[in-house]
Structure 1
Amino acid sequence: MAQPERDSDPASATWPARCAPGARDLDELDARICRCRACPRLVEWREESARTKRRAFADQEYWARPVPGFGPPDAALAVVGLAPAAHGGNRTGRMFTGDPSGDFLYAALYAVGLAGRPTSTHRGDGLELHGVRVTAPVHCAPPANRPTPGERDTCRPWLVRELTLLRPGLRSAVVLGGFGWQAVLPALDAAGWRVPRPRPVFAHGARTRLPAADGGPPLELFGCYHVSRRNTFTKRLTPEMLRTVLRGAAEAAGLPVSGAD
């Protein structure tokens, strides 16, 4: 006799595929994500990072679990990254929180009116997002910030279910980086939007419209360079460039925006 879902093993490679579809809302989905141990390499790395710590965070207790998405359940705009950072989201338990990449992203979201404050330091710091949900195709911190294709695919059911639950109100998405772009396209297809063939190519400033498979509202998909330190330090991605993409995506989603470059 098959084991009930609640008794299934979070360390099984099939845990995400078995448990994600049954989540009735984002709170339930997030709780299931946080229990996941499906990728042994990622589990080892996230927990090892929490044991060794960075000197600056030596007195802090690390989250050291998968990091769920962050933002309201009725978000009209999704921002999709890569994966949590070992000493950022893996430490704080919130996407893009506690590291320079998060500082760069949330400052831009605040500048265009999509966040209530320009900084994101820890869970409980009072940050609220306005019409935006921030997530990633991989929920655990990977070594060298490089998840494998297998880890991406194992984690995909979580993203598919998150996008499915957001779908009634979701009107646009900003994808940060080529890895995220490749990961999100099949997830969007599985969540109810039609991805054209050949698939749209990633580029900074890329924009493509995905029709809904059921004839509902389409999704406007935007590409943006990732907010990694390498990109921001070398000025490959500037604050103005990021704000421009976010402002365009917010306007496509029908969200009010503020400021101008």
Structure 2
Amino acid sequence: ASTRRASYVDQEYWGRPLPAFGDPQARMLIVGLAPAAHGANRTGRMFTGDRSGNWLYRALHRAGFASQPHSVSKGDGLVLSDCLITAAIRCAPPGNQPLTMERANCQPYLEAELGLTPRVSVIVALGGFAWTHLLRVLAGLGWTLPKPRPRFVHGATGKAHRPLALGGTPVTLLASYHPSQQNTFTGRLTEEMFDEVWTRVRELLA
């Protein structure tokens, strides 16, 4: 962020591309949109330091994927279990609206992570942008996708398969509304709706 909020004026912003965060041996991968300008872009960790992150980590804690229900800073002791969090865009986009160039520049990060996480059997996309981007990336990597491709709605699901060269193993794709204030403040996404997503993941991993 080029302008810092008054409450963070004395803090040094991370301000660089964000790496994935969580368990490298995870069976669940979460794909978000992009770092929030004064959240992850400030703290240097996915979904850390803003209200969207509070929503996400509370839900993951209730579902047993996170060691604590809050995420304030990189050194707060949070540990994820069987869960890895990444994003379609790695730097905070202007106005939270990613440009086509940003999407293209960041795509290799997600492609690499998909190749480095052979144990992943469930991928949860948070929001329509992440869902569409994920399907595009998987197709480009030679994954087999459901036909027709599932449109984004909260709770949408589909089954993808890795390329035969990578074993052809199945991966369940799940879609959820993003826990943004636009969704949570308006009631478009409730805690009950969000919890149902992670309960479903638990069932799939059982």
The TM tier, using the shorter chain, reads: over 0.9
Out of 117, 134, 156, the position equivalent to 1:206 is 156
Cα offset, 1:81, TM superposition: 0.7
Q: Which runs of 5+ in 2 are unaligned?
A: none
Cα distance in 2 for partners of 1:184, 1:120 equals: 25
Residue equivalent to 1:16: none
**Alpha-carbon distance between aligned partners in 1 of 2:34 and 2:56, rounded to the nearest angstrom:** 14
TM-score of the aligned structures, taking structure 1 as reference length = 0.75
Per-residue CA deviation, residues 194-246 of structure 1 (Å, 9 max, x unaligned), is 12343221110111111232153200000000111010000100111111111
Contact preservation (8 Å) 2:89, 2:98: yes
TM-score normalised by length of structure 2: 0.94
- Gapped regions of structure 1 (runs ≥ 5): 1-45, 255-261
Of 115, 123, 134, the residue aligned with 1:184 is 134
| Structure of higher CA gyration radius | 1
Is 1:61 the equivalent of 2:61? no
Question: By how many angstroms is 1:191 displaced?
Answer: 4.2
105 and 137 in structure 1: CA distance in 2 versus 1, 3 angstrom threshold: same
Q: How many residues align?
A: 204
Cα distance in 1, alignment partners of residues 163 and 137 from structure 2 = 13
The answer to whether the 8 A contact 1:77-1:250 is kept is no
Task: State the alpha-carbon separation in 2 of the partners of residues 251 and 216 from structure 1.
Answer: 22
Measure the CA separation in 1 of the matches of 2:141 and 2:116: 9
Choose between structure 1 and 2: higher strand proportion: 2
1:38-53 alignment, distance < 5 Å: 46=1, 48=2, 52-53=3-4
Residue number in structure 1 paired with 2:91:
140
Give 1:107's match in structure 2, choosing from 53, 58, 73: 58
Pick from 107, 126, 131 the counterpart of residue 82 of structure 2. 131
Aligned to 1:245: 197
Q: Over the residues paired in the alignment, what is the CA RMSD in angstroms?
A: 1.3
| Letter aligned with residue 213 of structure 1 | P
